[in-house]
Amino acid sequence: MHHKKFYILLLAMTVLAGFLFFLQINRSKQITINQTPTALISENATFIPPSDSDLILGNPGAPITIVEFMDFNCKDCLSFHMTIKEAVVKYPQQMRLIWKDAPQPRLLFKDASLTHQAGWCVAKQDQKKFWQFVDTVGTGNISESTLKKIIQGMNLNMAAWETCLQSDQTKQAVAAGTELAKNLGIPSLPAIFINNKAINIEADINLREMLESFIKK
């Protein structure tokens, strides 16, 4: 008799526990989680010091300044760059683009420092041709022999370019951009700033539309 009462009590407790669990699940489905939207552009300004090695496209006195930290080994970097360049070419008086060389160290592969040095030496002779160089090179770690073939097709002074490529000043100029990115706490590339405010490239953004919106302000 006592065993029967015990089993009835156990059954009742099991049914009650199941009912309470059902209520808990049902309530959880009704809970709305309010997610805080990620800002597309930082509210905080970051001071980015100018440098003699900066490569500038557009109006030096433009009200909209875009700074991009770039690595030729970064496919996303070049993709963002092309969109930005397109906007600056379209609005050359309202925008200026500042390119910062920032090749990142690689554990398994060589970094793109040589390509950045090659581009910097192109700019030393003709800044306009630097942007042509970027379009031609694209992404990836390129050998010195391939870089020479590219330069030969750009009607530059090859002897001056080769001397520049071996210069410690050139190597220091490129390394300074990488060091600046590190000092600013930039975790990864590409890193893009509009009027010193970082763009959240991890967000679902349409960079072309964002740049157009700055023009319309």
pLDDT tens sequence across 12-67: 566 555 555 555 555 544 444 444 445 778 888 999 998 877 899 999 899 999 99
Assess whether 119 and 186 both reside in one domain: yes
Flag whether the pTM goes above 0.75: yes
- Residue 202: pLDDT band (50, 70, 90) is confident
Assess whether 1 and 56 both reside in one domain: no
Residue 105: Cβ-neighbour burial (10 angstroms; 0-12, 13-18, 19+): exposed
DSSP-based three-state secondary structure for 146: helix
Pairing of β 197-199 and β 191-194: antiparallel
Assess whether 8 and 55 both reside in one domain: no
Assess whether 3 and 53 both reside in one domain: no
Assess whether 10 and 102 both reside in one domain: no
pLDDT at 122: 97
Q: Give 66-97 pLDDT, tens digit per residue.
A: 999 999 999 899 999 999 999 999 999 999 99
Assess whether 91 and 186 both reside in one domain: yes
Which residues, other chains included, contact 130 with Cβ-Cβ below 8 Å and sequence gap of 6+?
A: 55, 99, 119, 120, 122, 123
By residue range, what is the domain housing residue 198? 41-216
DSSP-based three-state secondary structure for 4: helix
- Dihedral of the alpha carbons of 41, 47, 48, 52, in degrees to the nearest 10: 150
- Residue 203: pLDDT band (50, 70, 90) is confident
Rounded Cα gap, residues 124 and 118, in angstroms: 10
CATH number at residue 86: 3.40.30.10
